[in-house]
Amino acid sequence: MPIATSLLCGVGYAYLLKASEMEPFEIAPFPEESQAGPIGNALFFVVLVCCGALALFFLLKRGNFRLIAFVTGFALVSAVLLLSIVYFYAFSRAFIPLPTEILVALSVAITVFAGYVFFGRKSKLGDFIVLLLGGALGALLGACIQTLSTGLILCFLAVYDAFAVYRGPVGKIARTGLEKLRGLSFSFRDIQMGLGDLTFYSMLVGHMLLYFGFFPCLASMAGVFIGCFLAFKMLEREGVFPGLPFPIFLGLALGFFAAFAV
């Protein structure tokens, strides 16, 4: 249910971007048209994720929990502010024109509320905000990165995730306790899952909706659900299991199959 909630939010955000007819931002460092551009973009995202995981691991190892809370809280609040401005602006373009002052005021109000939740002790509400944030961030990434780069970024990250869980910092962080990284993970029953997993699931399904249409989006969502089911079965056996490989590869396979079959 949490993954379904995040994915549906991601699809809704992607539809909002599509309805607004906004020009996508250029957030990939290398142009898609160049021969090595998509591979460079994929490696760039892997390096970013790797550096972030290493930094968190070393901070956890040193016991700097207050610094972790401040850095992650600041990053998440900044992301909420940026995403709020983007999506309120998209809503204003697509449906009801709103003055800039109102857009800014709404974005600031939501950001203050999210900051209160992240820096406070509202764990259940914080988990819900993480679901929304994963969907919003993923949809924006899926809208702003072209298809070949998106596919390679997701594939590279899925491979890196498998390595990082078993041999790298992600597995060590998970064994230390994801619950200590408030805002970067959510808990549901006995399962702890990272914000990155939700973000990249939504990036996949949002990109499929924006670039290929409804049925490929639906097929990729089915692939993510099947992959998550398989990953959870493996998680029951092993205790720690990477959340990206099964959902990403199955989501990509079913999404592109539906895109080319239709």
Alpha carbon distances (Å) from 1 to 4, 79, 160, 222 = 5, 24, 26, 14
Q: Is the pLDDT of residue 261 over 90?
A: no
Q: What is the pLDDT of residues 156-171, one digit of tens each?
A: 999 998 888 777 766 6
Q: 182 pLDDT exceeds 70? A: no
Tokens 């990082």 found at: 164
For residue 172, the model assigns a pLDDT of: 63
pLDDT at 223: 97
Q: What are phi and psi of 34, to 5 degrees?
A: -70, 155
Name residue 17's amino acid: L
> What pLDDT is attached to residue 177?
58
Cα–Cα dist 207/15, whole Å: 10
Separation between Cα atoms, residue 173 and residue 98, nearest integer Å: 43
Alpha helices in the chain (DSSP H): 2-20, 37-62, 65-94, 100-119, 123-144, 147-166, 169-177, 195-212, 214-238, 245-261
Task: Give the residue-averaged pLDDT of 5-26.
Answer: 91
Rounded Cα–Cα distance for residues 238 and 234 (Å): 6
pLDDT score for 36: 85
DSSP 26: -
Secondary structure (3-state) at 225: helix
* Per-residue pLDDT tens digits for 230-255: 998 888 887 778 889 999 999 999 99
Average pLDDT estimate for 112-121: 80
